[in-house]
Structures are given as C-alpha cells and as structure tokens.
Structure 1
C-alpha cells in the first residue's frame, strides 16, 4: 500500500485489516496463504501473515472516507468469496473465538519462521487481528512530533473498534482482549515520548541490538513511522466488526493528526504523559471498550468514553469539516452510542443462547457481489 506524502492540507489515508479464516465448525483454517494469493484486489493489496489462519487486506491511497468505505468493503467481499469457495468463512474479529487443540501454524516463509524461533510462545499471539491506519506526513521529524502529541489519545482510539471479547472458548472479561495479548511482543504497546527523530532511531537501534526485534518491520508500537512510505501508522485498533467502524477510526485519526499539526505549527508542546500512566489507561480502555470509562487525555480523571469522544469531536471539528468527514463521524458515534460497538454486540449474540457459534455467525462476512 502506498500513501502519498501529505502537506497539512492533503492528508491521504490507507487502511489495513487483518482477518481470521475458519472452517464450517468455526475452527482456524490453514489456508490463509492460498486465499490471499488467489483473491483479486484491483483497488488494494492482499498479504499473507505470520500464521496460516490469517489474511490481510490493504486499501490503495484514499483521499476521502467514502473511498475508504468502498475499498474496504470490496476487499472484504472478495476475500469472503474466495474463502467460501473453499468452505471457509472470513471473520473480522480480534481473537480466535473457540478453543483450539494446537497452536496456529506458522506460514512457510524464512522471516516468519525466524520470528517464531526467536520469540517462542509469544508468536502464538500473532493469531490476533488489528486495524492499521496510515496517514500521510510531511517528513519523519514531523511524524515523531506527532507521535508525542497524539500518545494520550491512544486509549480513546482503542475503544472505537474494540472487538475481541471471546478467546479460547470463554469470555475474556475484556472488550479488546487482542490488545493485551498483542502487547506481549517486546516491541509492542504505547511508544515512549521521543522528543526527536534521533531519539526514535536510537530506540529502534537499541531494540535491534538487543534482539527484541529481528528487523525494523517488527517495531510494533501503537503508533510508528512507516519505513516503506511517508506515513504515520496507527496500529492501536482491533479489526472492526463493520467497515463503517474501521472508516470511523480512520476519520478521527486523520482529524487528530490535522489538529496536532496545527498545534505543532503554533509551537505548543506535546502533552506530558508518562509511559506508565499511558499503559495503565490502555489497560482500562481494552477492558471497558466504548461503553466504559478511561482516564481523560487532558484532565487525567476517569470519565465515560462516549462523553470524551463527544468532546474530542468538537476539538477536531475544523479538521473534520476540512475533509468533509464531520457528518460521517457524527453518525458513526451515534451508532456506537446506540449499539455499544463490536464488543457489546458479541456479548449480546452470545447471551441469547450461550452459544459461541452465534458470535461467529454474527461476524462472518457475506461474500456478496461487487
């Protein structure tokens, strides 16, 4: 996926989504590499993942949220059709729902096999599915300054697509169980406050020397610089249950980036927030999701997530209007306030009959036609 270099007025987007493939019984499939290579994706890219039960899609360059919605929907339908041809189902969910007899198999690939050998049991958490949003940035130095400014909003961003309640056959007690699972990687979790590009690069080099990462592609921070393209990559979200929720995440991220660029241009310093406090608040966000409470990014006190998002939308409204996203964002949060998001919908589906297959049925993508 390529995202064009962006000035303050041209922040293009790209969105990546990871999915699980399951068979008719809801068990993880081994056919991810085959499904990825045999699916046509004229508007984006399809990729193999570390484990064979996953596939990943990536949009092309998008200037508008309408493009994001159209491309994500098309990629999901195409993958679901290829999966259905193999008697499989495509699941946009953060974690495997059912208990599996054995660990997911690693995709045959020298880099993946090395990662599995180096990190042992940690590699098993690779069977978790996220949503990654790329936003074009002017340069890497500005990207690092944006990371420092936007770290406090990571917990709120996590709540938008929290979609991984059930894991290994049981309710995890979390709205996003994917997040604490994924955070087991030594390079995952919230980034520190860097202060400069030199400090960012020094930190990455230290992780390489220690063996905590085998290459720069394994920098798994919740926000990171992309090495391959001039973007800032937000890796905080679960894969969204619905395309509109993934697009909502992309829209508010672009609005936050645009607003932070203005603050940086005005000479405002990045908010002071320790890594320990941020990590604690991310735990709270992963547990509660959209229907709970997290620490307010400005006051530091617990407050309802829905109230904080209403305040945040007002903060970034000029940016949302600039890109024509304000109505889409308002409608998206109205739906979340009504239905509680992916996590609440999963629990509601399970509660009707206490049957985990109802959760799978709720989320499975229908092949449809383009």
Structure 2
C-alpha cells in the first residue's frame, strides 16, 4: 500500500478579533521547548502562518487521526501565547504582512516584488509514495486533468482583503501568479522531467528546485509525487478525503502506465482553463470533464473521478468512507460555501474567522 503524508498551512489569529498575528516564531519556540527534536511544525513565508507535516501513513484512519492531533497541538501551542489557529486558505481581513526571517524569503521578496504579498495563502500538499522517478513522472503525466476536481473539493478561500472575490478558491488564483506555478505539458520520461526542472532553475527566475511550484511534481526531499493544488481544508475529514483520492489517482495512474494505457494529451491552455473554472465555481456549477475538457455538472465529474479511482480506493479499504464523505461534502458544501453561509448569518468577516477557528479543530 502506498504511503501518504500531508502538509497543512494554518493561519495564526487572535481568538477574539480574528486578526492574524505574526507570532509563528514564538509558537515554534514553544514547540521546541516541549520537544527539542520536533520536526512536525515549521515556519512559513509569513509570520502569521504555521505549517505542520504528518508522518507517512498507509492507513487513512491513522492519517486522519494524526491530522487532528497536529491541528489540536498547533492550537495548544498557539493558545499558550494568546493565539489561535484557523484552517483558512486566505485571510478574509486586510492585514499588514510580516515576512519571516530567512535568506530564502528575503530573496523571494527582492525577486518578486509586491507580488510576494499574494503568497499569504495556506495550502494543503499531499505526498504519495512512488517506486521510482520513472513511475513518478508517468503518474504526473496522467493525473493532471483530474487535479481541478481536487481543487473544487478542497476550495476554502472565497474572501480576500475584506471582500468576496467571487471565487471559491481565490488562493489558487493568487498562487498562479508565481512564474513556475500551474499545470504542465506531458513529460514522457524522468530524464525529460529533470531536464525541464534544471532548465527552469538555470533561467535564474527561481532560486532552486524547491521553487518549481507545479500543480504536481516529484518531491525534492522524499520518494513521492507531491500534489499541491488543494486549499487547506476547513475540516480535517475533507483533508483525509483529498489525501485518499490523491493516493488513488497515483495508484490508478501507475497501473495505467504499466498496462501501456496512454495519458490524455490536453494542452496546457486547456488545463489552465480547467484549473480556473474549478477555482471560480467549485462544486456549485459545472467542472470541465477531464476526458473531454467540456463542461459537465460538478456532481457528474466527481462521480467520474470516483469511478476512475474506484478499484484503487476499494483495494485500500476506503470505499465506504469516501462515498460517505463525498455525500456529506455535496450536502454541506466545501469550506468556501461554509464561509459564505457564516457571513450571511453573522454579517461579520471577523465572526467568520472565529467560528472557523472552532471548526478547524472539530
């Protein structure tokens, strides 16, 4: 069974006002005080953000339990300095940003100018183990058209700078302004993939391989495919669903590769349109069908994804949980819909944030 690891980025906020607080250094100091060798919590680009990473897990129930533990531990550490954590992919309120102290971040601020502010966003990255770079690139070539569906499921960023953006995943639109972000053409082999990455770094536009911010890539640290399209999810069970479907996509793609079944050969232009459409409407209207790149009702495209990955999901024993979680997500809506309903009910973006603090840990 392929192992899965998850990285989640959280906002650090005042528990009463919802205002983001640049206290990540203090939170990390608390974590190091409790466990000097801890490797779960890490700093992020801005001081108002905190990242955690799970260990690789083969069992999705264990992965879910670890995500919940990490969220609760992040909340405890933040609470000790009068702060709270919220799983929001963008901050609904305007906020002055505080860049974390790091040579890499200083380079990015100098290179990208004011656009660095667009990166005050929180994502969810899923790592799925692969046997080799060759298998990993074969997977990358086959999962791209399905990634907008994961984006639609995870969408959790409707508000930005005090206003409704009209998008369900505005985080992904901000992130798309990075010069190395987004979907890619087919690579065909590991050699071509690595040559492309080398050429991108040699351009001087990005600093190193870690800044190759593709929607999905070979990890620079682990023997995994890293899928980077999801917003951080408001609820932990949605994160587990994204991770489960990501593993199933990787397993299905690897099987198709071994069986000699070719990938869809869609242009990057069409893949970008599918990504935009998912970020704009999510589950509320159509998605672009991964096979045809034509609009279909979101529920039908989601059903196609479940059918496409059905054998892999059944093999891992997760079919019942996936069906139940998808049904609940379609009924309740993703994080973006929940946030908009909260604003409709309370009339206050600050109240939206403080309620999302609670839901982050539920």
> In 1, distance between residues paired with 2:25 and 2:101?
9
Q: Distance in 1 between matches of 2:240 and 2:361?
A: 20
Residue of structure 2 in register with 1:19 after alignment: 10
1:146 Cα deviation from its structure 2 partner:
0.7
Q: Using the TM superposition, give the Cα deviation of residue 36 of structure 1 relative to its aligned residue in structure 2, in angstroms.
A: 2.7
Query: Post-superposition, which runs of at least 4 consecutive aligned residues in structure 1 deviate over 3 A?
Result: 40-44, 365-369
Summarize the Cα distance change of 1:124–1:313 in structure 2 as closer, same or farther, 3 Å threshold.
same
* Residue aligning to 1:67: 62
> What secondary structure is seen at the aligned counterpart in 2 of 1:331?
helix
- Tell me, yes or no, if structure 1 residue 288 matches structure 2 residue 277: no
Matched, 1:182 2:175: yes
CA-to-partner distance for each residue in 1:146-182, whole Å, 9 max, x for gaps? 1111111011110111000011000010000000101
Q: Deviations over 1:258-305 (max 9, x none)?
A: 111111111011111000000011000001112221110012221122
- Separation in structure 2 between the aligned mates of residue 155 and residue 367 of structure 1, nearest angstrom: 23
Distance 2:304 2:361 in 1: 38
* Match for residue 49 of structure 1 among 15, 39, 44: 44
Alpha-carbon distance between aligned partners in 2 of 1:367 and 1:322, rounded to the nearest angstrom: 30
Work out whether 1:31 is the aligned partner of 2:26.
no
- TM-superposed deviation, 1:43: 9.1
Secondary structure of residue in 2 paired with 1:56 = strand
Task: Pick closer, same or farther for the CA change 1:367–1:359 going to 2, 3 Å.
Answer: closer
Aligned counterpart, 2:143: 150
Q: Deviations over 1:88-141 (max 9, x none)?
A: 1201011111012x3x11111112112211211122122100000000001111
CA contact (8 A) 1:222 1:235 kept: yes
In structure 1, runs of 5+ residues without a counterpart are: 1-9
State the Cα distance separating 1:228 from its structure 2 match.
1.0
Indicate whether 1:194 and 2:184 are aligned.
no
Q: 2 CA distance for matches of 1:87 and 1:192?
A: 47
The answer to whether residue 216 in structure 2 is matched with residue 220 in structure 1 is no
State the TM-score, normalized to the length of structure 2.
Answer: 0.95
Q: Distance in 2 between matches of 1:314 and 1:195?
A: 25
How many equivalent residue pairs? 358
Maintained 8 Å contact 1:44/1:59? no
Q: Take 1:283 and 1:241, find their aligned partners in 2: how far apart are those partners?
A: 21
Q: Aligned partners of 1:127 and 1:18: how far apart in 2?
A: 10
DSSP-derived class of the 2:282 partner: helix
Cα distance in 2 for partners of 1:268, 1:37 equals 50
**Aligned residues: CA RMSD:** 1.7
Listed as ranges, the matches of 1:72-151 within 5 Å are 72-100=67-95, 102=96, 104-151=97-144
Instruction: Quote the Cα distance in structure 2 between the aligned partners of 1:140 and 1:45.
Output: 26
Question: TM-score, with normalisation over the residues of structure 1?
Answer: 0.93
Alignment of 1:163-182 (within 5 A): 163-182=156-175
Offset of residue 212 of structure 1: 2.1
After superposition, give the CA deviation of every residue in 1:71-96 in whole Å (9 maximum; x if it has no partner): 00000001111112222120101111
1:338 aligns with 2:331: yes
Where do 5+ consecutive residues of structure 2 fail to align?
A: none
Answer yes or no: is the 8 Å Cα contact 1:130–1:239 preserved in 2: yes
- Cα distance in 2 for partners of 1:213, 1:282 equals 23
